Amino acid sequence: MIGKERCLRPPSCRAKGLQLLIERASICAFDDSAVLKILIMGGTRFVGKPLVTRLQAQGHALTLFTRGRHSLPDGVEHLSGDRTTTEGLSRLQGRSFDVIVDSSGRKLEDSQRVVACTGEPKHRFLYVSSAGVYADSEHWPLNEESATDPNSRHAGKAQTESWLLQQGIPFTSFRPTYIYGPGNYNPIERWFFDRIVHNRPVPLPRDGTTITQLGHVVDLADAMVRSLEVETATNRIYNCSSKRGITFRGLIAAAARACGKDPNTVELRSFDPSGLNPKARKAFPLRLSHFLTDITRVERELAWQPRFDLETGLEDSYCNDYSLKPTAEPDFSADQSLIGV
């Protein structure tokens, strides 16, 4: 049974120093001092925030295209509009950029409409795809050559990658598994934190040995920025997540430690997922089947290493996001269909 102890912030929240040592790749696409004109479709939420911070630190000239719903960082040009409409994109007409960053496009036409307004970027089209494009497999981890699923809800992202290649538009695409970290608006780590903090039993698919993989948002941003400096990253697709996978059971234990709790005090209740869609993420926040990718290519070609392992990443998410704005009244109604409570 879950203990009644007060949920404390772990000591590591008070003092944590994380350092990333990145070896410079031997071939660069442009001088480090070059200032690039960069269009970012979005840039004010989850993935966009650390990306903008890093690009600004390098002195690039940033233009953010958003709907204007969220606060903007200082020092950027802002264009307000709805990217799903021709009228909304009209402010991009005739503009040209060295780099276009698209982290919010889901369908092929989303990116096509942007390029139709601006023309091809002079240096790179930087795209956030998804490891969700891959088909189910008996072989794990999946690499960038693994088969894709044309019926995936992420199929539009794979179509966008193919279109960029066919059109000869210089691009780099990243296929993360589950992105997590401060600012995550998807119910990934928060789903586990809610149940642990509120002393609820945590639903566990079968025996909890299914393997999944998460990647920290800062690590993704670092890899994206790094790719702009590396010539060999042109027209390349990269899996980009943490180094290792983890079982559902291990993930819950790591989440408990991030919350300052002993994992042994957290009650786990198994459920049979056989009647659920294995790729569904409604009642349970992750795929109910294995989901693990090989990140060897991005490590080798970009001389990049993730700075966060899952333990430090979940602590970062808990300390710098969840604990500052906890869910006031979490909705646990979906648990009823899984474990009956």
The SS3 assignment for 253 reads helix
In a domain, 25, yes or no: no
In a domain, 24, yes or no: no
In a domain, 78, yes or no: no
User: For the whole prediction, is pTM greater than 0.85?
Assistant: yes
As a whole number of angstroms, the distance between CA 157 and CA 175 comes to 9
- Per the model's pLDDT, the better-predicted residue between 326 and 223 turns out to be 223
CATH of residue 245's domain is 3.40.50.720
Range of the domain at 247: 123-339
The pLDDT confidence band at residue 29, using thresholds 50, 70 and 90, is: very low
Answer positive or negative: Cα dihedral of 74, 76, 79, 81.
negative
Q: What is the pLDDT of residues 187-210, one digit of tens each?
A: 999 999 999 999 999 999 999 999
Contact 89, 100 (CB under 8 A): no
Residue 55 has a pLDDT of 98
In a domain, 7, yes or no: no
In a domain, 129, yes or no: yes
As a whole number of angstroms, the distance between CA 150 and CA 159 comes to 9
Contact 144, 173 (CB under 8 A): no
Residue 33 has a pLDDT of 67
As a whole number of angstroms, the distance between CA 92 and CA 37 comes to 13
pLDDT at 219 over 70: yes
Answer positive or negative: Cα dihedral of 142, 192, 278, 157.
negative
Burial 25-41, CB ≥16 within 10 A → b, else e: beeebeeeeeebbbbbb
As a whole number of angstroms, the distance between CA 277 and CA 182 comes to 28
Closest by CA position to 225, among listed 18, 58, 44 = 58
For β-strands 214-216 and 178-180, DSSP reports them as parallel
In a domain, 158, yes or no: yes
In a domain, 37, yes or no: no
Residue 30 has a pLDDT of 54
**Structural domain tally of the chain?**
1
The pLDDT confidence band at residue 68, using thresholds 50, 70 and 90, is: confident
In a domain, 29, yes or no: no
What average pLDDT score do residues 80-100 get? 94
Q: What is the pLDDT of residues 248-274, one digit of tens each?
A: 999 999 999 999 999 999 999 999 998
Contact 143, 293 (CB under 8 A): yes
Burial class (CB in 10 A: 0-12, 13-18, 19+), 264: exposed
Q: Which two tokens stand for residue 305?
A: 């290493």
pLDDT at 11 over 70: no
